[in-house]
Amino acid sequence: RYVPEFDGIVIGYTNVQFLQKNAEILFDSPYFSVKVGVIFNLFTPKKNLEIVGKVNKVSADHIGLLLYGVVNASIPSDKI
């Protein structure tokens, strides 16, 4: 899914680290909060970027593609 704060799609992550020793429980919430550090791999497509994908669906309306084995994309029939 597109994440506006990253201007892209997270396709993977590595190097997850806890940045604090203890978690915080907020008020009467059943959840806790802990700060972590992580390195994200992002797919950040730009307009007019040429991308190679594997076709996984062809219909009268569009062509479906899988990019990098992770991201789904489609080309509408009026753009073909």
The per-residue pLDDT string of the chain (80 residues; one tens digit each, 9 = 90 and over) reads 889 999 999 999 999 999 999 998 888 889 999 999 999 999 998 889 888 899 999 999 999 999 988 889 999 999 98
Distance of CA 37 to the CA centre of its chain: 17
Stretch (H or E) spanning 17: strand 8-18
Q: Are the CB atoms for 34 and 44 separated by under 8 Å?
A: no
> For tokens 């991201």, what's the residue?
71
